[in-house]
Structure 1
Protein backbone atom coordinates (compact mmCIF):
# COMPACT_ATOMS: atom_id res chain seq x y z
CA UNK A 1 0.00 0.00 0.00
CA UNK A 2 2.79 2.41 0.87
CA UNK A 3 4.53 1.56 -2.39
CA UNK A 4 1.38 2.37 -4.40
CA UNK A 5 0.98 5.76 -2.71
CA UNK A 6 4.61 6.58 -3.43
CA UNK A 7 4.12 5.74 -7.13
CA UNK A 8 1.02 7.95 -7.37
CA UNK A 9 2.89 10.83 -5.72
CA UNK A 10 5.84 10.43 -8.07
CA UNK A 11 3.55 10.31 -11.11
CA UNK A 12 1.67 13.39 -9.91
CA UNK A 13 4.89 15.32 -9.30
CA UNK A 14 6.22 14.24 -12.67
CA UNK A 15 3.09 15.59 -14.38
CA UNK A 16 3.44 18.87 -12.49
CA UNK A 17 7.03 19.25 -13.64
CA UNK A 18 6.10 18.52 -17.26
CA UNK A 19 3.28 21.08 -17.11
CA UNK A 20 5.62 23.68 -15.64
CA UNK A 21 8.13 23.09 -18.45
CA UNK A 22 5.42 23.54 -21.09
CA UNK A 23 4.26 26.78 -19.48
CA UNK A 24 7.73 28.34 -19.26
CA UNK A 25 8.41 31.08 -21.78
CA UNK A 26 11.60 30.93 -23.78
CA UNK A 27 14.09 33.76 -24.05
CA UNK A 28 12.97 34.42 -27.62
CA UNK A 29 9.32 34.66 -26.55
CA UNK A 30 10.23 37.10 -23.78
CA UNK A 31 12.28 39.20 -26.21
CA UNK A 32 9.41 39.36 -28.69
CA UNK A 33 7.01 40.30 -25.90
CA UNK A 34 9.30 43.11 -24.72
CA UNK A 35 9.79 44.33 -28.29
CA UNK A 36 6.03 44.45 -28.80
CA UNK A 37 5.62 46.45 -25.62
CA UNK A 38 8.29 48.89 -26.76
CA UNK A 39 6.67 49.38 -30.15
CA UNK A 40 3.24 49.86 -28.58
CA UNK A 41 4.64 52.54 -26.31
CA UNK A 42 7.03 54.38 -28.64
CA UNK A 43 4.90 54.54 -31.81
CA UNK A 44 2.15 56.81 -30.38
CA UNK A 45 4.77 58.92 -28.65
CA UNK A 46 6.69 59.56 -31.85
CA UNK A 47 3.47 60.03 -33.81
CA UNK A 48 2.39 62.69 -31.33
CA UNK A 49 5.75 64.44 -31.55
CA UNK A 50 5.67 64.58 -35.35
CA UNK A 51 2.03 65.64 -35.45
CA UNK A 52 2.63 68.38 -32.88
CA UNK A 53 5.72 69.64 -34.69
CA UNK A 54 3.78 69.77 -37.96
CA UNK A 55 0.89 71.65 -36.31
CA UNK A 56 3.32 74.12 -34.71
CA UNK A 57 4.94 74.68 -38.10
CA UNK A 58 1.57 75.61 -39.61
CA UNK A 59 1.18 78.64 -37.33
CA UNK A 60 3.03 81.92 -37.22
CA UNK A 61 6.01 82.39 -34.95
CA UNK A 62 7.76 79.83 -32.82
CA UNK A 63 5.61 77.80 -30.45
CA UNK A 64 5.81 74.37 -28.97
CA UNK A 65 2.29 74.19 -27.57
CA UNK A 66 1.03 71.60 -30.03
CA UNK A 67 4.22 69.58 -29.79
CA UNK A 68 4.11 69.30 -26.02
CA UNK A 69 0.38 68.55 -25.96
CA UNK A 70 0.63 65.89 -28.67
CA UNK A 71 3.62 64.27 -26.95
CA UNK A 72 1.62 64.07 -23.72
CA UNK A 73 -1.33 62.63 -25.63
CA UNK A 74 0.97 60.08 -27.31
CA UNK A 75 2.40 59.20 -23.90
CA UNK A 76 -1.08 58.54 -22.53
CA UNK A 77 -2.06 56.46 -25.56
CA UNK A 78 1.18 54.46 -25.29
CA UNK A 79 0.62 53.70 -21.61
CA UNK A 80 -2.95 52.57 -22.32
CA UNK A 81 -1.71 50.39 -25.21
CA UNK A 82 0.86 48.69 -22.98
CA UNK A 83 -1.68 48.19 -20.18
CA UNK A 84 -4.25 46.60 -22.50
CA UNK A 85 -1.60 44.40 -24.16
CA UNK A 86 -0.29 43.13 -20.82
CA UNK A 87 -3.80 42.44 -19.53
CA UNK A 88 -4.64 40.49 -22.68
CA UNK A 89 -1.44 38.48 -23.18
CA UNK A 90 0.16 38.01 -19.77
Structure 2
Protein backbone atom coordinates (compact mmCIF):
# COMPACT_ATOMS: atom_id res chain seq x y z
CA UNK A 1 0.00 0.00 0.00
CA UNK A 2 1.44 3.35 -1.00
CA UNK A 3 1.43 6.47 1.09
CA UNK A 4 -1.21 7.98 -1.16
CA UNK A 5 -3.55 5.00 -0.71
CA UNK A 6 -3.04 5.04 3.06
CA UNK A 7 -3.79 8.78 3.14
CA UNK A 8 -6.98 8.32 1.10
CA UNK A 9 -8.12 5.46 3.34
CA UNK A 10 -7.44 7.40 6.55
CA UNK A 11 -9.17 10.49 5.19
CA UNK A 12 -12.28 8.57 4.14
CA UNK A 13 -12.36 6.87 7.56
CA UNK A 14 -12.21 10.30 9.25
CA UNK A 15 -14.98 11.64 7.02
CA UNK A 16 -17.25 8.71 7.89
CA UNK A 17 -16.51 9.19 11.59
CA UNK A 18 -17.34 12.92 11.42
CA UNK A 19 -20.58 12.27 9.50
CA UNK A 20 -21.63 9.70 12.09
CA UNK A 21 -20.86 12.17 14.88
CA UNK A 22 -22.97 14.90 13.24
CA UNK A 23 -25.98 12.59 13.05
CA UNK A 24 -25.72 11.46 16.68
CA UNK A 25 -28.12 13.15 19.12
CA UNK A 26 -26.73 15.54 21.70
CA UNK A 27 -26.08 14.12 25.15
CA UNK A 28 -27.46 15.68 28.31
CA UNK A 29 -23.92 16.54 29.41
CA UNK A 30 -23.28 18.41 26.16
CA UNK A 31 -26.56 20.27 26.47
CA UNK A 32 -25.76 21.19 30.10
CA UNK A 33 -22.32 22.53 29.16
CA UNK A 34 -23.76 24.48 26.24
CA UNK A 35 -26.49 26.00 28.41
CA UNK A 36 -24.02 26.81 31.17
CA UNK A 37 -21.70 28.54 28.75
CA UNK A 38 -24.50 30.63 27.28
CA UNK A 39 -25.65 31.51 30.81
CA UNK A 40 -22.18 32.62 31.85
CA UNK A 41 -21.74 34.65 28.68
CA UNK A 42 -24.96 36.46 29.55
CA UNK A 43 -24.61 36.85 33.33
CA UNK A 44 -20.93 37.78 33.78
CA UNK A 45 -21.19 41.19 32.02
CA UNK A 46 -24.28 42.04 34.08
CA UNK A 47 -22.64 41.20 37.40
CA UNK A 48 -19.42 42.92 36.35
CA UNK A 49 -21.37 46.05 35.42
CA UNK A 50 -23.20 45.99 38.75
CA UNK A 51 -19.98 45.76 40.76
CA UNK A 52 -18.18 48.40 38.70
CA UNK A 53 -21.20 50.71 38.84
CA UNK A 54 -21.53 50.28 42.61
CA UNK A 55 -17.85 51.12 43.06
CA UNK A 56 -18.16 54.23 40.87
CA UNK A 57 -21.29 55.30 42.78
CA UNK A 58 -19.45 54.94 46.08
CA UNK A 59 -16.88 57.49 44.88
CA UNK A 60 -19.59 60.12 44.33
CA UNK A 61 -20.81 62.32 47.16
CA UNK A 62 -24.28 61.48 48.45
CA UNK A 63 -26.54 58.62 47.42
CA UNK A 64 -26.42 57.69 43.76
CA UNK A 65 -27.24 54.61 41.70
CA UNK A 66 -26.76 56.24 38.34
CA UNK A 67 -23.61 54.30 37.41
CA UNK A 68 -24.93 51.05 38.80
CA UNK A 69 -28.14 51.11 36.78
CA UNK A 70 -26.39 52.34 33.64
CA UNK A 71 -23.73 49.64 33.75
CA UNK A 72 -26.27 46.91 34.53
CA UNK A 73 -28.23 47.91 31.41
CA UNK A 74 -24.98 47.98 29.42
CA UNK A 75 -24.15 44.53 30.85
CA UNK A 76 -27.53 43.19 29.71
CA UNK A 77 -26.89 44.46 26.18
CA UNK A 78 -23.35 43.09 26.12
CA UNK A 79 -24.46 39.74 27.56
CA UNK A 80 -27.20 39.40 24.97
CA UNK A 81 -24.69 40.22 22.24
CA UNK A 82 -22.24 37.62 23.58
CA UNK A 83 -24.88 34.90 23.88
CA UNK A 84 -26.30 35.63 20.42
CA UNK A 85 -22.92 35.42 18.71
CA UNK A 86 -21.97 32.27 20.62
CA UNK A 87 -25.19 30.51 19.62
CA UNK A 88 -24.96 31.77 16.04
CA UNK A 89 -21.46 30.38 15.70
CA UNK A 90 -22.56 26.93 16.94
CA UNK A 91 -25.19 26.32 14.26
Calculate the TM-score normalised by the size of structure 2: 0.74
Aligned to 1:45: 46
Aligned to 2:68: 67
Cα pair distance change 1:47/1:21, threshold 3 Å: closer
Structure 2, unmatched stretches of 5+, are 1-18
Displacement, 1:20? 8.1
Calculate the TM-score normalised by the size of structure 1: 0.75
The alignment yields a C-alpha RMSD, in angstroms, of: 1.8
Structure 1, unmatched stretches of 5+, are 1-17
Aligned partner of residue 84 in structure 2, secondary structure? helix
Count the aligned residue pairs. Answer: 73
Query: Larger Cα Rg: Structure 1 or Structure 2?
Result: 1
Give the 4+ runs in structure 1 shifted more than 3 A: 18-23
Aligned to 1:34: 35
